């Protein structure tokens, strides 16, 4: 039997099934009509599936974009005005900031189109077409194919398919993504816009209120939003930045609701969830709890402590490292919460029960050559075989390649015989040193070299050849020598190298032995997992396909892979533990209550916000009780990548921006917890209040299409 026949039968079975928990799921848009629309309407939806996603007509999907490299945004006006989270725009806001123009601390608002700031390197992407290419990718793969045969055939099929797509869509970005562990495939045709300009951002005291302390927590009081505008050429097509470009005219923009939300209201979120592991096995949970999460938590925690100290001491360093610190700390705290949630909610035992059920089914109902009987054993063996290499490569990545900043430019230059494009190299160097503090990197490097020596069994060769042989094992002395003499930590020396490249000078640089030995060890560890990786991929693919055969009446959805999805549910409170009940919304009163002068980096309240609160000057953005709501929660199913996604009501109108999950259900990427899992969103009325009443930029609100029903 060919693999496509299996997948078609599974999709058809899922399409007629009734879900056990419809709040769970990151659903593919082309199947909403077959799989979800009946349940969505039962929950309160007032639209048709065609209103949300249409092959031939504009729909809500056409207002949603990939924002930058890992977030979601939505178009909210006919002039290309776009909303996303503050933390999604953070990198661009930081890049545009300086000590003289500190947009992170003070915020920024363009009072005219001419004042909007081009954001270098920022792109947004519209998904124009979604095409099921399962038949083209795996239609000729035998159902008994091992991983080597599967990869050979699908790679050949992908090459052929991409050529066909490139001919049909010559000006588009194309992507073919696998789903259900490689059992299904979709092609995405994407239009990329690269002229994106900053329109407005609240100060960090609003946009990042609560900082690390409140991250992933409810109740939440963060005004997590920022505004940009998409520009196009005079034909409304993508174009590089030009003063002659004009605001983009979208096929669809979201209406914005002033009506607010009440408990039980229908909600849906459309966006680009990044990565989930809902089909993770108990063996992988062990690996996560014992190796990957503890290493990440420890190493990042050590580095972040150094960055934070330097950021508090210097405005220049604070601006330079704001985005770097935020990016690191977000996943650091996520890992802490993930381990806590998995252990507290007994996720491993639930996975083991599922695996036992699957194995019994496979033994009784399938043939050995089909690959289901030994699917779990392949995963178990692969995880065991890769354990040491995984630990090694992750430690090197976290402690060196991610943490020690000069390493990557040094590595890049070490492989050059000459610079191919001096202008490009000059811009790369300028960008690097703009946000680089050698004194901070020196401190980090000393700490990273120390903890690697203390915790890794086998060390990169430079420890013996450089640190021990030349500096008597004194890490601090070695690092000081390196920073005092290396080209790659000094802007003037690096720029001189760019203008007059000398490969021999690079080879003699004191940083090169360290850089090369770390990368060689990392590469060797990564390459040693290829065989176990193939074994895991085959087991994973067969396990998922087998689960779908075992339970044909269940509604199945694929893990998130940063493709556009929809999740739907309802606004709702929750009780995380005995004696505690969290209501479904927060108000501006909570912002005032959380103010903490002893923690100015996280809990500062701007004077203007206090004035508005004391006067109760909330305007049309107040709720029926005269309060200004800040955030709300719903039981939608999201993950990283959904940051900035629109939260819409039953009519498809914007009611908030999703920006976080909740601490009690941090295991949600592995196992959805319907009673606990909540999406945290900033209420759109708070967003509009900050724009209008706080910032005095009401012209931006006037540009939107507002509704009051």
Question: What is the spatial distance between Cα 345 and Cα 354, in angstroms, rounded to a whole number?
Answer: 15
Task: Provide the angle, in degrees to the nearest 10, between the axes of the packed helices 407-414 and 422-434.
Answer: 160
Q: In the predicted model, is pLDDT for residue 8 greater than 80?
A: no
Q: In the predicted model, is pLDDT for residue 155 greater than 80?
A: yes
Question: What is the spatial distance between Cα 594 and Cα 222, in angstroms, rounded to a whole number?
Answer: 11
Question: What is the spatial distance between Cα 299 and Cα 415, in angstroms, rounded to a whole number?
Answer: 28
The burial of 417, by beta-carbon neighbours within 10 Å (0-12 exposed, 13-18 middle, 19 or more buried), is given as exposed
**Pairing mode, strands 246-247 and 226-232:** antiparallel
At 159 the pLDDT is 98
Question: What is the spatial distance between Cα 138 and Cα 7, in angstroms, rounded to a whole number?
Answer: 10
Q: Please name which of 450, 449, 422, 442 lies closest in space to residue 489, comparing C-alpha atoms.
A: 442
Q: How far, in Å, are 20, 275, 282, 303, 679 from residue 307 at the CA level?
A: 46, 28, 36, 6, 30
Give the other-Cβ count within 10 Å of 594's Cβ: 18
Residues 476 and 608 in one domain: no
Q: State the first-to-last Cα distance of the chain, in angstroms, to the nearest integer.
A: 54
Q: Is the peptide bond before 226 cis (omega within 30 degrees of 0)?
A: no
Of 9-13, 190-194, 652-656, minimum mean pLDDT range: 9-13
Instruction: Classify residue 135: in a domain, yes or no.
Output: no
Residues 217 and 292 in one domain: no
Question: What is the spatial distance between Cα 458 and Cα 349, in angstroms, rounded to a whole number?
Answer: 34
Q: Please name which of 226, 197, 193, 201 lies closest in space to residue 120, comparing C-alpha atoms.
A: 197
The residue from 531, 546, 568 where one domain ends is 531
Question: What is the spatial distance between Cα 436 and Cα 452, in angstroms, rounded to a whole number?
Answer: 23
Q: In the predicted model, is pLDDT for residue 13 greater than 80?
A: no
Q: pLDDT band for position 575 (50/70/90)?
A: very high
72 forms beta bridges with 66
At 298, list the tokens: 């420890």
Measured at the CA of 517, the angle between CA 511 and CA 520, to 5 degrees, comes to 135
Q: In the predicted model, is pLDDT for residue 5 greater than 80?
A: no
Residues 340 and 461 in one domain: yes
- Decide if 676 contacts 689 (C-beta within 8 A): no
At 10 the pLDDT is 53
Residues 495 and 382 in one domain: yes
At 14 the pLDDT is 47
Buried/exposed code over 14-34 (b: 16+ C-beta within 10 A; e: otherwise)? beeeebeebbbbbbbbebbee
- Decide if 111 contacts 699 (C-beta within 8 A): yes
Percent of the chain with pLDDT over 90: 95
At 34 the pLDDT is 93
At 102 the pLDDT is 97
Of 32-41, 355-364, 411-420, minimum mean pLDDT range: 411-420
**Host domain of residue 34:** 1-123+194-276+559-709
Mean pLDDT value across residues 18-37: 81
Residues 407 and 452 in one domain: yes
pLDDT tens, residue by residue, 159-212: 999 999 999 999 999 999 999 999 999 999 999 999 999 999 999 999 999 999
Residues 573 and 486 in one domain: no
Q: How far, in Å, are 257, 414, 450, 695 from residue 371 at the CA level?
A: 52, 46, 46, 61
Instruction: Give me the number of domains the chain comprises.
Output: 2
Instruction: Classify residue 155: in a domain, yes or no.
Output: no
At 415 the pLDDT is 87
3-state secondary structure of 286: helix
Question: What is the spatial distance between Cα 75 and Cα 249, in angstroms, rounded to a whole number?
Answer: 10
Instruction: Classify residue 545: in a domain, yes or no.
Output: no
Residues 525 and 642 in one domain: no
Q: Please name which of 562, 522, 632, 593 lies closest in space to residue 218, comparing C-alpha atoms.
A: 632
Residues 376 and 519 in one domain: yes
Give the catalytic positions in this structure. 87, 224, 643
Instruction: Classify residue 684: in a domain, yes or no.
Output: yes
Helix (H) / strand (E) element for 683: namely: strand 679-683
Residue 97: which CATH number? 2.40.10.120
At 60, list the tokens: 């809500």
Question: What is the spatial distance between Cα 22 and Cα 36, in angstroms, rounded to a whole number?
Answer: 8
Q: Please name which of 680, 686, 681, 683 lies closest in space to residue 613, comparing C-alpha atoms.
A: 686
The residue from 512, 531, 550 where one domain ends is 531
Of 2-11, 305-314, 583-592, 661-670, minimum mean pLDDT range: 2-11
Question: What is the spatial distance between Cα 682 and Cα 244, in angstroms, rounded to a whole number?
Answer: 35
Residues 256 and 341 in one domain: no
pLDDT tens, residue by residue, 608-620: 999 999 999 999 9
Residues 506 and 577 in one domain: no
Instruction: Classify residue 209: in a domain, yes or no.
Output: yes
Question: What is the spatial distance between Cα 440 and Cα 150, in angstroms, rounded to a whole number?
Answer: 48
pLDDT tens, residue by residue, 436-480: 999 999 999 999 999 999 999 999 999 999 999 999 999 999 999
Buried/exposed code over 67-95 (b: 16+ C-beta within 10 A; e: otherwise)? bbebbbbbbbbebbbbbbbbbbbbbbbbb
Of 223-227, 438-442, 501-505, 564-568, minimum mean pLDDT range: 501-505
Residues 318 and 375 in one domain: yes
Highest mean pLDDT among 569-578, 594-603, 646-655: 646-655
Instruction: Classify residue 157: in a domain, yes or no.
Output: no
Three-state secondary structure along 371-401? Answer: CCCCHHHHHHHHHHHHHHHHHHHHHHHHHHH
Question: What is the spatial distance between Cα 673 and Cα 28, in angstroms, rounded to a whole number?
Answer: 21
Q: In the predicted model, is pLDDT for residue 17 greater than 80?
A: no
Instruction: Classify residue 236: in a domain, yes or no.
Output: yes
Q: pLDDT band for position 709 (50/70/90)?
A: confident
Instruction: Classify residue 159: in a domain, yes or no.
Output: no
* DSSP secondary structure letters along 236-277: S------TT-EE---S----EESS---TT-EEEEEE------
Q: Please name which of 691, 638, 671, 677 lies closest in space to residue 274, comparing C-alpha atoms.
A: 638
Tell whether the torsion through CA atoms of 334, 538, 354 and 285 is positive or negative. negative
Q: In the predicted model, is pLDDT for residue 74 greater than 90?
A: yes
The whole-chain average pLDDT of the chain stands at: 95
Q: Please name which of 24, 56, 19, 23 lies closest in space to residue 34, comparing C-alpha atoms.
A: 19
Mean pLDDT value across residues 650-676: 95
Q: Is the peptide bond before 198 cis (omega within 30 degrees of 0)?
A: no
At 6 the pLDDT is 53
Place of tokens 């097509």: 237
Mean pLDDT value across residues 108-116: 98
Residues 233 and 349 in one domain: no
At 280, list the tokens: 């993770």
């Amino acid at each position: 039997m060919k693999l496509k026949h299996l997948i078609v039968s599974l999709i058809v079975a899922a399409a007629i099934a009734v879900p056990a928990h419809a709040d769970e799921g990151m659903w593919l848009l082309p199947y909403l009509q077959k799989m979800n629309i009946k349940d969505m309407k039962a929950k309160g939806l007032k639209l048709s599936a065609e209103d949300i996603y249409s092959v031939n007509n504009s729909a809500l999907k056409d207002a949603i974009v990939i924002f930058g490299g890992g977030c979601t945004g939505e178009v909210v006006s006919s002039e290309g005005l776009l909303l996303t989270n503050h933390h999604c725009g953070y990198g661009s806001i930081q890049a545009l900031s300086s000590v003289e123009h500190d947009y992170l601390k003070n915020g920024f608002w363009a009072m005219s189109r001419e004042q909007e700031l081009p954001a270098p390197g920022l792109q947004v992407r519209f998904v124009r077409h979604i095409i099921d290419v399962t038949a083209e990718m795996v239609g000729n793969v035998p159902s008994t194919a091992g991983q080597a045969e599967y990869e050979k055939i699908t790679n050949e099929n992908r090459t052929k398919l991409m050529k066909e797509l490139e001919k049909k869509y010559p000006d588009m970005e194309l992507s073919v993504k696998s789903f259900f562990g490689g059992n299904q495939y979709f092609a995405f045709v994407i239009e990329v816009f690269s002229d994106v300009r900053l329109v407005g951002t609240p100060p960090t005291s609003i946009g990042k209120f609560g900082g690390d302390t409140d991250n992933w927590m409810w109740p939440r009081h963060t005004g997590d939003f920022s505004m940009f505008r998409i520009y196009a050429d005079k034909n409304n097509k993508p174009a590089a930045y030009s003063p002659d470009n004009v605001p983009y005219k979208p096929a669809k923009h979201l209406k914005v609701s002033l009506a607010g939300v009440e408990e039980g209201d229908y909600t849906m979120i459309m966006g680009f969830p990044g990565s989930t592991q809902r089909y993770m096995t108990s063996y992988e949970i062990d690996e996560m709890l014992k190796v990957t999460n503890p290493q990440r938590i420890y190493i990042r925690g050590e580095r972040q402590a150094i960055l934070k100290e330097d950021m508090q001491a210097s405005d220049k360093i604070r601006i330079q490292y704001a985005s770097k610190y935020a990016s690191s700390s977000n996943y650091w705290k996520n890992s802490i919460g993930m381990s806590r949630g998995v252990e507290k909610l007994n996720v491993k035992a639930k996975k083991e029960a599922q695996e036992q059920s699957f194995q019994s089914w496979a033994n009784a109902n399938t043939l050995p050559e089909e690959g289901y009987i030994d699917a779990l054993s392949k995963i178990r063996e692969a995880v065991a075989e890769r354990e040491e290499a995984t630990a090694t490569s992750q430690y090197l990545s976290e402690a060196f390649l991610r943490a020690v900043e000069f390493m990557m430019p040094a590595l890049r230059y070490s492989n050059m015989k000459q610079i191919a494009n001096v202008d490009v190299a000059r811009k790369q160097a300028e960008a690097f040193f703009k946000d680089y503090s050698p004194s901070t990197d020196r401190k980090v490097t000393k700490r990273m070299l120390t903890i690697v020596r203390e915790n890794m069994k086998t060390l990169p060769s430079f420890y013996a050849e450089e640190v021990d042989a030349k500096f008597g094992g004194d890490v601090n002395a070695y690092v000081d020598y390196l920073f005092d003499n290396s080209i790659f930590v000094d802007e003037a020396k690096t720029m001189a190298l760019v203008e007059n490249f000398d490969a021999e000078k690079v080879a003699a640089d004191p940083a090169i032995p360290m850089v090369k030995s770390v990368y060689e060890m990392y590469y060797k560890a990564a390459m040693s997992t290829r065989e176990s990786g193939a074994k895991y991929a085959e087991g994973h693919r067969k396990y998922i396909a087998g689960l779908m055969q075992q339970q044909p009446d269940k509604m199945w959805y694929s893990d998130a892979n940063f493709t556009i999805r929809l999740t739907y549910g309802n606004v709702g409170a929750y009780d995380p533990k005995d004696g505690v009940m969290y209501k479904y919304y927060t108000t501006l009163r909570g912002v005032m209550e959380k103010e903490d002068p002893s923690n100015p980096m996280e809990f500062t309240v701007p004077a203007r916000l206090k004035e508005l609160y004391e006067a109760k000057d909330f305007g049309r953005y107040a709720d029926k009780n005269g309060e200004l709501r800040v955030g709300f929660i719903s039981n939608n199913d999201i993950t990283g990548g959904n940051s900035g996604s629109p939260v819409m009501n039953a009519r498809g109108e914007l009611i908030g921006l999703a920006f976080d999950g909740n601490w009690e259900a941090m295991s949600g990427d592995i196992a959805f917890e319907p009673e606990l899992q909540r999406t945290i969103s900033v209420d759109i009325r708070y967003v509009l209040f900050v724009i209008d009443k706080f910032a005095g930029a009401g012209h931006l609100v006037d540009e939107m299409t507002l509704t009051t029903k």
